[in-house]
Amino acid sequence: MPVVDRPGPEQSNQRLLALLVSLVTLTAFAALYVFRSLDDNRLTSWQWAFERADIVWVFPALAVGTALAYAVSGISVPGRWQAPALFVSSFLAAAFLWGAPEVIVDTARYFVQAKYFELYGVEFFLREWGGEIAVWTDLPLVPFLHGLVFTLFGEARIAVQIFTTFLFSATVVVTWLIGRTLWDDTVGGVAGALLLAMPYLLTQPALMLVDVPAMFFLSLAVFTTIKAVRDGDSRFLVAAPLAITLAMLSKYSVWLMLSVVPVIVLAHLERDWRPVLKRAAAMGLATILLAGTVALMKFDVVAAQLKLLWSYQLPGLARWGESHVSTFLFQVHPFVTAAALCSIAVALARRDRRYAIIAWMLLLIVALGIKRTRYVLIALPMLALMAGYALREMSDGRMRRFVVSCAVVSALVTAVFGYLPLLKGMSAANLMAAGERLDAMEVDRVEVFTLPQERSIVNPAVLVPILDLYTGKQIVYRDGALTPPAPQTISTSPLRFTWEFATPPYYAPGPSSPGDAVAVIASHAGQALPDNINTRIKGMQPSGTFSAPDRIFKFKTFVHLYHPP
HEC string of 343-358? HHHHHHHHCCCCHHHH
Read off the pLDDT of each residue in 389-394 and give the average, rounded to a whole number: 95
* pTM for this predicted structure: 0.94
Length in residues, the chain: 565
Judge whether 355 lies within some domain: yes
Count Cα neighbours of 466 within 13 Å in the Cβ-side half-sphere. 29
Which has the closest alpha carbon to 192: 348, 324, 29, 79?
79
In a domain, 358, yes or no: yes
- Are 404 and 453 in the same domain? no
Do 359 and 482 lie in a common domain? Answer: no
DSSP H/E element including 478: strand 474-478
Q: Pick the last residue of a domain from 373, 402, 424.
A: 424
Residues 63 and 202 in one domain: yes
Could you list the residue range(s) of the whole structural domain that residue 306 is in? 58-102+156-424
Q: Give dist(CA 149, CA 163) in Å, integer.
A: 8
Burial of 498 (0-12, 13-18, 19+ CB in 10 A): buried
Say what the pLDDT of residue 511 is. 76
**Within-domain flag for 338:** yes
Q: What percent of the chain has a predicted confidence (pLDDT) above 70?
A: 96
Residue 384 Cα distances to 10, 120, 362, 370, angstroms? 29, 41, 11, 18
Rounded Cα–Cα distance for residues 138 and 106 (Å)? 10
Mean pLDDT of 310-336: 84
- Same domain assignment for residues 398 and 457: no
- Inside any domain, residue 9: no
Q: Of 362, 394, 424, which residue constitutes the final position of a domain?
A: 424
- Does an H or E element contain 542, and which? strand 541-546
What pLDDT band is residue 422 in, cutting at 50, 70 and 90?
very high
Residue at 144 is within a domain: no
420 plus 513 within the same structural domain: no
With a cut of 50, say whether residue 4 has pLDDT above it: no
Same domain, yes or no: 220 and 278: yes
Residue 2 pLDDT > 50: no
What pLDDT, on the 0 to 100 scale, is given for residue 319?
A: 66
Closest C-alpha to 294, from 145, 142, 140:
140
Please state the rounded mean pLDDT for residues 175-201.
96
Q: What is the average pLDDT score of the chain? A: 91
Same domain, 77 and 203: yes
52-60: long-range pairs with CB below 8 Å, 24+:
52/421, 52/425, 53/417, 53/418, 53/421, 57/417, 58/413, 58/417, 58/418, 59/26, 59/29, 59/30
* Domain membership flag for residue 72: yes
Using an 8 Å Cβ cutoff, are 244 and 287 in contact? Answer: yes
Residues 88 and 234 in one domain: yes
pLDDT at res. 9? 61
Q: How many domains does the chain have?
A: 2
Give the number of C-alpha atoms closer than 13 A to the C-alpha of residue 481, restricted to the C-beta side: 2
74 with 90, same domain: the answer is yes
Give the DSSP H/E element, type plus range, for residue 562: strand 558-563
Kindly state whether residues 252 and 165 are assigned to the same domain. Answer: yes
The whole-number pLDDT of residue 378 equals 97
Please enumerate in sequence order all residues whose Cβ is within 8 A of that of 324, keeping only pairs 6 or more positions apart, or say none: 366, 371
The answer to whether residues 77 and 183 touch, using CB atoms and an 8 Å cutoff, is no
Are 341 and 471 members of one domain?
Answer: no
How remote is the C-alpha of 417 from its chain's centroid?
Answer: 19
- The residue with greater pLDDT, 371 or 28, is 28
Residue 559: inside a domain: yes
Q: Could you tell me if 340 and 406 lie in one domain? A: yes
The residue among 501 and 96 whose pLDDT is bigger is 96
pLDDT one-digit tens code per residue, 446-476: 999 999 888 888 888 899 999 999 999 999 9
SS3 274: helix
| pLDDT per position as a tens digit, 282-301 | 999 999 999 999 889 999 99
Given a cut of 80, whether residue 512 has pLDDT beyond it is no
DSSP state of 210: S
CB 25 within 8 A of CB 411: no
Residue 147 counted as domain residue? no
Provide DSSP, 65-111.
Answer: HHHHHHHHTT----HHHHHHHHHHHHHHHHHTTTT----STTHHHHH
Choosing from 386, 409, 424, the residue where a domain stops is: 424
